[in-house]
């Protein structure tokens, strides 16, 4: 049990591309605050491509300079959300999510739909 997260690219005529990860609570908090209107309800939300590009830029900065984490991508505590430390695991999760975000942006075309969902 834990914070499970999914980023999905639904192409118009293709099978969706799904990227799953766990316990990246800082990324989850970012989605809640920047995409979900503050609602943390285990829902699935449409993600504007401009917002996903913004997240990519933040993740790149944090991965390259851990000291920026608390300012740009702060952790969020929760019963099943994992560690709130800015340690190697934090950077590893940020890097893994960055890879997923870059893949979605690489394959995104006008008319495609991007969604983020979480559960715990």
pLDDT tens per residue across span 85-104: 999 999 999 999 999 999 99
Cα gap 21→44, rounded to integer Å: 15
Which residues span the domain enclosing 109? 4-119
Q: Give the pLDDT confidence of 3-40 residue by residue, as tens digits.
A: 999 999 998 878 899 999 999 999 999 999 999 999 99
At a CB cut-off of 8 Å and minimum separation 6, what does 7 contact? 18, 19, 47, 97, 100, 101, 104, 114, 115, 116
> Would you say 70 and 61 are in contact if contact means Cβ atoms under 8 Å apart?
no
Count of the separate structural domains present in the chain: 1
Total-model pTM: 0.93
């Amino acid at each position: 049990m834990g914070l499970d997260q999914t980023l999905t690219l639904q192409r118009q005529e293709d099978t969706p591309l799904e990227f799953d990860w766990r316990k990246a609570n800082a990324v989850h908090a970012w989605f809640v605050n920047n995409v979900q209107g503050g609602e943390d309800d285990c829902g699935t939300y449409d993600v504007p491509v401009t917002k996903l590009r913004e997240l990519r830029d933040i993740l790149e900065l944090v991965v390259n300079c851990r000291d920026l984490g608390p300012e740009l991508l702060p952790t969020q505590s929760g019963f099943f959300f994992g560690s709130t430390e800015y340690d190697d695991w934090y950077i590893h999760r940020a890097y893994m999510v960055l890879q997923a975000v870059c893949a979605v942006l690489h394959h995104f075309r006008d008319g495609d739909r991007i969604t983020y969902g979480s559960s715990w």
